[in-house]
Amino acid sequence: MWKLKSNVYNVSKQALEESLYMIGNGYLGVRGSFEEGYATGESVRGTYINGLYDRIPMVHAEMAHGFPTEQDRQPRVLDTQTCEIWLDGEQVHLVDGKFTDYHRTLDFQTGETIRTYRYFTSTGKSADISFRRLASLAHVNFLLYKIEVEFDGEIELISLCDTEIENYSNPNDPRIGQGHTKLMRLLSLVGYDQVVYASMRTATTNIEQAVAISHKILHTLYATLEHNKHEGKLYTRIKAYGRVGLEKKCVFTDGLRFSSPLDRARELLEKYDAYDYDAFLEWQIEFLDEFWYQSGIDIQGDADAQLALRMMQFHLLQSVGVDRFSNVAAKGLSGEGYEGHYFWDTEIYILPVLQMNQPDKAKDLLSYRHSILPYAKERAKQLGHLHGAAYAWRTISGIECSGYFPAGTAQYHINADIAYAFIQYFLYTDDELFMAEKGFEVILETARLWMDLGNYHNGTFQIHTVTGPDEYTAIVNNNYYTNAMAKYHLYWTYKMFKLLENSKHESVRHLFEDLVARLSINQGELIAMKTASEKMFFLYDEAHQMYAQDDTFLTKPMWPTDVPEFSYRPLLLNYHPLTIYRHQIIKQADTVLAHMLLEQYATEDDIRNAYNYYEAITTHDSSLSTCIYGIMASRCNLNDKAFEYFNESLMLDLKDTHKNTKDGLHMANMAGSILSVTAGFAGLRISEEGIVLRPQKPMSWDEFSFKLNYQGRLLKVTIGNEVKFELLEGDGIYVKVWDRMHFVEKNKPPVKAVVFDLDGVLTETSKAHFEAWRMLASELGFEVPDKLEDEVRGISRLDSLEIVLAYGGLNDRYTLEEKNDLASHKNELYLELIKGYTPDNLCQGAVSLLAYLRESGIKIALASASKNAPFLLKAMAITDYFDAIVDPSSIENGKPAPDIFLKASELLGITPGYCIGVEDAYAGIESIIAAGMKPIGIGSKSVLSNCGTVFGGLDSLHNFLINHLI
């Protein structure tokens, strides 16, 4: 349930799988195109940088004042994916009859894609080919590829740096860019030795984008490498025989973030020159271990939902911007749908997910909105407003990029959506400083627009000529969603002013005083906003006992569903907008969404009646719709319907139900599916009164759990037959479940000791052990494979010797005495290799972890199978941290028997059940389990498949122990 898998290559799903198997890290994204290319079929071979944009003309058939004349578009940047493969002069392409054993995976625990198959040439010879790639989450400028080919013949790899790139265009779909596809122009392209450097510049905005690419040849001593350049394409040709591998390390930079992108790319490539693909993979695993610990949602009893949900969480992680220059495009970094534009999707769908588990990323996205506030203020003037800010409906740099104003610019609710996100961030974090620095300025300036846009009529504050979330009903008066969000927005503008004005923090008050002076804020303006909020108009329909979507919506005829000519979907691609606008037909949740976000403005009956009425006339032509109707079905106790909607939104991309996943994944739907679990099945709401839950577990699930980061606390919520809480970090807190308050406080398990293995845990000596065994084998006349390193990890010297001798077929050649001599000789070789060890050879985080355990009163023991352990501890200056060191000669059976860990427990005088054992080897984990201790692994989950808790390094283990066990 941690991997998206495909064992069939289907050319008709080629472009779809490019989206599903994309990789990214929030800064850059790469579609899952085949490195070796395709023989046929549709492909969008794209690589994208978040926040990078060019500007293209926007032409209107009939121009009017305030219409935008240009728009942002996210350019496809130069292509580093391509690596052609030639076998005995024949190019490799996957066509029927030419390959077998096709496998493709996207691993959510390692963050890499792996693709393998066996290929057959026209002469009948076979080749085993594998492709791996990852976009580093720890070092976001890096994209890495690893390609390996084994073939009894001549192999040629042609790695391509392609600057002749253009964006995708589809004139028949308004959701895709149309024309103006050549957005980048070449500045420089050179290759020498094993490195390629390239730089380009956006055609009109002149933003530079650069790449540095290194090529490392693997598995062969006899290979040639040469560079050839032709018309904006640079070919790096590698020729070998029998077996060859290629690691491509690509560094992407851009002129938004760096003053000299090409120089910075070169510097980063040189800085990390010594680190190979596997090193980046280790960093990736450590990053993802922490991510899943903080954010993972676990479902018991529904493997399909678990897999799909993890895929969605992972893809959101890959596409969410990582700095103030970027946000989250509608298609993330997975495709070119909606031209890379950011919408309200971020604030209403994606930010609620991030605020639960990744508050720092939420803060970055809100900082982006603050950074483009000047554009919003300028846009307000263009629209004829004397005061305030009007955020662009769709944008990258901040300018309005919507050419069809009834379904774009008229959606003024984006102002309140952005303000709502800032307010939710404050409720989650209580971060007054951020609100004083950035948040309140955005909230105030956008609130000023409501005062300029709205007007009083019959004693009520009304907002006219707007479009709500339902884009099938445009330019209306008093759209319920817009008015409700504006009401909340205006209320909180006054409230936030008072909170900051009376802050207990002097730094906050000083910042706020400066802001008040700079923005010319006065009490009268704030009181007027508060009054407008209190007087906000909502049209209530007595006949239906619910709030009307707008002033005229309920007066329109229903869509003629019984007429064949009106049966085509989606409506926006088949009918004139005016035909749609004059009917009661809804594209996506509108009033129902308002009831989800602001349920305090309606009664339970109002909410239920609105749901039943509006749900029946909603087409769900927007991918943002089914998840909201599912969440509100839970709210209305319609549990079967909620689960149906959840499954529909869950499969939207996996089954391509909207038939446009090839243009990119639907980020808001993915976030909405996650919210279907937390806000829907768990009934989670965050308000001024704190955390509220109304759980409605699906009947087919045994239980589910999720984490919640709230005001310095990390809370785990598990919902099964009952609701259970575990406070993992922070102080105790009250949580409301339905109408009952629960106080949740931290319950620390009784951990009294930690027992460590040495090799591979506190210091990395496994490579020295392996090298010593390799040297011994060579002296005996045979070679051992690389996998031996894992096979002998954590077991005794004599047991390791038996494995080594087996590779040479020499198991029965030596007596026990001779084997002891061989083992001693191997140890001499090993000691020679490690005699120079110092504290610098400790694994990262070892000293700080040991010091923390000592300060916490936790006993520490060493349970290493190595008789050299005391020597190593002394050499690395950590002997004094240990309360007990097991001599392996004092135990009868080595790992995986429990003897060594039981001996450590005995020396410490602590029962095994109160001990944690830390190991990097499968056999060692077995030993810990058999001893009755809690096992924790260091290394790879694929190797330590017998361990439930595995970390990539000691820093992550340190955090885990602080937050969970000690």
The H or E element containing residue 711 is none
CA distances to 37, 79, 678, 711, 952 from 317, rounded to whole Å, are 27, 23, 17, 22, 19
Residue with tokens 């969000």: 485
Q: What is the pLDDT of residue 398?
A: 97
The rounded distance, in Å, linking the Cα atoms of 576 and 566 is 12
The rounded distance, in Å, linking the Cα atoms of 929 and 916 is 10
Angle (CA) 753-754-759 rounded to 5° is: 155
pLDDT at 183 over 70: yes
Please compute the mean of the pLDDT values over residues 441-446 and round it to a whole number.
Answer: 98
Active site residue 471: yes
- Using one digit for the tens of pLDDT, what is the confidence trace for 846-866? 999 999 999 989 999 999 887
The rounded distance, in Å, linking the Cα atoms of 554 and 539 is 11
HSE on the CB side for 770, CA within 13 Å?
A: 17
The rounded distance, in Å, linking the Cα atoms of 443 and 373 is 11
Q: What is the pLDDT of residue 781?
A: 86
Please give the torsion angle defined by the CA atoms of residues 575, 577, 579 and 583, in that order, rounded to the nearest 10 degrees: 120
Would you say the pTM of this structure is higher than 0.85?
A: no
Q: Which one-letter DSSP state was computed for residue 281?
A: H
Please compute the mean of the pLDDT values over residues 797-814 and round it to a whole number.
Answer: 84
Output the six-digit token pair for 459: 């004693």
Q: What type of residue is 942?
A: S
Which is it for strands 3-6 and 99-107: parallel, antiparallel or unpaired? Answer: antiparallel
- Using one digit for the tens of pLDDT, what is the confidence trace for 808-850? 888 788 888 888 888 888 878 877 777 778 888 888 999 999 9
pLDDT at 256 over 60: yes
- Using one digit for the tens of pLDDT, what is the confidence trace for 289-306? 999 999 999 999 999 999
Q: What is the pLDDT of residue 771?
A: 80
Checking 66-72 for CB contacts under 8 A at 24+ apart, the result is: 66/382, 66/383, 66/384, 67/403, 67/405, 68/399, 68/400, 68/401, 68/402, 68/403, 70/399, 71/339, 71/399, 71/400, 71/401, 71/403, 72/339, 72/340, 72/341, 72/395, 72/396, 72/397, 72/399, 72/401
Output the six-digit token pair for 486: 């504006």
Q: What is the pLDDT of residue 173?
A: 60
Residue with tokens 């090298």: 771
Backbone angles phi, psi at 953, to 5 degrees: -165, 175
Please give the torsion angle defined by the CA atoms of residues 636, 640, 641 and 642, in that order, rounded to the nearest 10 degrees: 70
Angle (CA) 884-889-893 rounded to 5° is: 100
Q: CB count, 10 Å around CB of 779? A: 12
- Using one digit for the tens of pLDDT, what is the confidence trace for 620-642? 999 999 999 999 999 999 999 99
In this prediction, residue 753 has a pLDDT band, given cuts at 50, 70 and 90, of very high
SS (H, E, C) 906-946: HHHCCCHHHEEEEECCHHHHHHHHHHCCEEEEECCCCCCCC
Output the six-digit token pair for 533: 């909020």
pLDDT at 175 over 60: no
Q: From the candidates 336, 400, 432, 471, which is the catalytic residue?
A: 471
Please compute the mean of the pLDDT values over residues 405-426 and round it to a whole number.
Answer: 97
The rounded distance, in Å, linking the Cα atoms of 660 and 678 is 27
Please compute the mean of the pLDDT values over residues 755-784 and round it to a whole number.
Answer: 84
* Residue (of 353, 377, 381) closest to 365 by Cα position: 353
The H or E element containing residue 311 is helix 303-319
pLDDT at 385 over 70: yes
The rounded distance, in Å, linking the Cα atoms of 924 and 937 is 9
- Prior bond of 570 cis (ω within 30°): yes
pLDDT at 209 over 70: yes
The rounded distance, in Å, linking the Cα atoms of 221 and 662 is 41
Residue with tokens 């991997």: 3
The rounded distance, in Å, linking the Cα atoms of 275 and 587 is 50
- Name the range with the highest mean pLDDT among 116-120, 775-779, 782-786: 116-120
Q: What is the pLDDT of residue 174?
A: 58
Residue with tokens 């398990």: 749
First to last CA, the chain: 30
SS3 820: helix
Helices (H) and strands (E) in the chain, counts: 29, 35
- Using one digit for the tens of pLDDT, what is the confidence trace for 53-86? 999 999 888 999 999 999 999 999 999 999 999 9
HSE on the CB side for 50, CA within 13 Å?
A: 28
How long is the chain?
A: 966
CA distances to 3, 55, 163 from 184, rounded to whole Å, are 35, 11, 8
Report the chain's mean pLDDT, rounded to a whole number. 93
The distance from CA 229 to its chain's CA centroid, rounded to whole angstroms, is 36
